[in-house]
Amino acid sequence: MAIQIIQTEEKLIYEAEDSKIFYRRISTLKRGTIVKRHTKRGKTDWNAVTGSVLDYVIIGWENIQQAKKDIVFDQDLIMALPEDTLTDILELSGGANPGMSDGEDQEKN
């Protein structure tokens, strides 16, 4: 199979029970840009990186509920999704990074 270039307009589907979350992959360059934006004086805020990556990769959803009512996609609610779902999407999208898992600022090597 040939190497495929990541397209910003792609729409992949993560399914959990009856819900669908639409996401796209993130390129190494885009992820690096996000990490750089959240690195100051050699320290990276991995919580901010994770939030920015998820804001970039999650592009919509269907059948997501709050208070037992369907809600329309809202980027402000992404971090309210279950942690295991967010972790899965980070891994599938290429947005996961070893430093992102502990959530603390780390010095840049």
Q: What is the pLDDT of residues 25-80, one digit of tens each?
A: 999 999 999 999 999 999 999 999 999 999 999 999 999 999 999 999 999 999 99
User: Is the residue at 42 inside a domain?
Assistant: yes
Number of neighbours of residue 100 by Cβ within 10 angstroms: 19
Q: What is the number of domains present in the chain?
A: 1
User: Which pLDDT tens digit goes with each residue over 80-97?
Assistant: 999 999 999 999 999 887
Q: Is 2 inside any structural domain?
A: no
Q: Tell me whether residue 105 is in a domain.
A: no
62 Cα distance to chain centroid: 17
43: phi then psi, degrees, rounded to nearest 5: -115, 135
User: In this structure, is residue 5 part of a structural domain?
Assistant: no
7 domain residue, yes or no: no
Domain residue limits at 52: 12-97
Report CA 12 to chain centroid distance, whole Å.
Answer: 13
